[in-house]
Amino acid sequence: MPRETALYDRHVALGGRLVEFGGWTLPVQYEGVLSEHRRCRSSAVVFDTSHMGQFLFRGPEAARQLGRIGTQDAEALAVGRCRYGFLLNEGAGVLDDTILMRLGPEELLLVVNAGTAEGDLRWITGHLGPGVEMENRLADGWGKIDLQGPAAARALGPLVDVDLRALGYFGVSRAVCCGRRCVLSRTGYTGELGYEIMAPGEELGTIFDRLLADEAVGPAGLGARDSLRLEMGYPLYGHELSTEHDPIEADLAGFARPEREFIGAARLRELAGGPPTRKLVAFRAGSRRRANPRDAILAEGRTVGAVTSGAFSPSLEVSIGMGYVELASADAGRGLVVDTGRAELPVVVAEKPLYGGGTCRTKDL
């Protein structure tokens, strides 16, 4: 049986269409994927992301040891900052992509994907030594909501005790929101200005309700979350990332720099000695027809890769996607063909992000 988040009753009351995702029951949409997507780009939406894992690490050894397990340099990460990175296996295959948040000198929070959370937990505990305590906050009933969109700071500002102008992109802070203690990070998965709010489930419901009481904010489901992240060229674990792929070919080598020692670093140094055989690219199609995961990508009639994600882009009004292709076919501007099984869909390799209007880095709050 898939698990329900603390906001389940609210999703039902809001008319959410519920689906199973990563072992959880979550809304794929409320009013509609396209309107929720556009609302995020033009105003603000809130997503229930309580399915994602939250692991809290405390102790004098926490930063040093975490920096040897994941690709983020936890010791160099300043208090109040977040960093994207990976858990890799010894072969540099991606076990998960994560965000590491430094809450204090001896306190770090790792946010991980839902479907991989249990495996991550075993992997991390298997590599931790003395001097670190780990709390699985998901098991303790914590949840998370993501408020995303250019109006996010205006909607959240009056509800929190921190000055949002002082919380820059990838900043994190403890906060009080609607009288509830929470962790607040200026991160997200949409390319827009936004915040992730982590709190115990029952407290999260109050915050969710208060945000939705603002007419600038609407609820959004997994459907819009997927098309928003794809317009930004952000990877989704299980699609663009898996143990079959390493960060170099995923075009994310900057988030796994093997000058330091961490699990998989030795293999990354070997891989960095030559060009990758394939590379993750984003593409836009010449029509609205969708490319689907595992569709073959062809160049001059020969298979050179496969699609990992595809969606209709509400911002660009064409079909977009991502996929791994041979290096010789990976340059921006290269014309390729996706074989959808029903039709040959012409696509063009494009620079990431596919949508350039995102407000995530704005300083104008």
Positions in the binding site for another protein (CB under 8 A): 17, 28-29, 32-35, 223, 227, 287-290, 311-312, 319, 342-343
CB 90 to another protein: min, Å: 37
Which of 18, 121 has the CB closer to another protein? 18
Our CB check for another protein shows the closer of 112 and 311 to be: 311
- Supply angle C-alpha 98, 102, 105, rounded to 5: 145
Q: Which two tokens stand for residue 84?
A: 């994207």
Task: State the Cα–Cα distance between residues 67 and 127, nearest whole angstrom.
Answer: 11
Would you call 361 helix, strand, or coil by DSSP? coil
Q: Which of 61-77 are b and which e, b meaning 16 or more Cβ less than 10 Å from the residue's Cβ?
A: bbbebbbbbbbbbbeeb
CB of 62 to another protein, least distance (A): 40
Neighbours of 154 (CB within 10 A): 17
Query: CB-wise, 177 or 285, nearer to another protein?
Result: 285
Which CB, 191 or 314, lies closer to another protein? 314
Angle at CA of residue 94, ends 349 and 85, nearest 5°: 85
Query: Shortest gap between Cβ of 289 and another protein (angstroms)?
Result: 5
Measured from the CB atom, the residue of 259 and 317 that comes closer to another protein is 317
Residue type, 322: M
Residue 170 burial by CB count (10 A; 0-12/13-18/19+): exposed, middle or buried? middle
Rank residues 163 and 344 by Cβ distance to another protein and give the closer one: 344
Q: How far is the CB of 141 from another protein (least distance, A)?
A: 29
Cβ atoms 30, 16 nearer than 8 A: yes
Beta strands in the chain (DSSP E): 3-4, 17-21, 24-29, 44-48, 53-58, 82-88, 94-104, 107-112, 133-136, 142-148, 172-177, 180-185, 194-200, 217-219, 278-285, 296-299, 302-313, 318-326, 335-339, 344-350
Angle between helices 62-69 and 117-127 (to 10 degrees): 120
Nearer to another protein, 35 or 206 (CB): 35
Q: The dihedral of CA 149, 154, 157, 163: what is its sign?
A: positive
Closest distance of CB 323 from another protein, Å:
18
Least gap, CB of 227 to another protein (angstroms): 7
Q: How far is the CB of 320 from another protein (least distance, A)?
A: 11
**Both tokens assigned to 262:** 């961490």
DSSP helix/strand/coil, 152: helix
Residue 179: CB minimum distance to another protein, A: 37
Residue with tokens 């590599």: 127
- Closer to another protein by CB, 342 or 363: give it: 342
Nearer to another protein (CB atom), residue 150 or residue 314: 314
Q: Provide the minimum distance between the beta carbon of 16 and another protein in the complex, in angstroms, as a whole number.
A: 12
Sign of CA dihedral 249, 255, 261, 262: negative
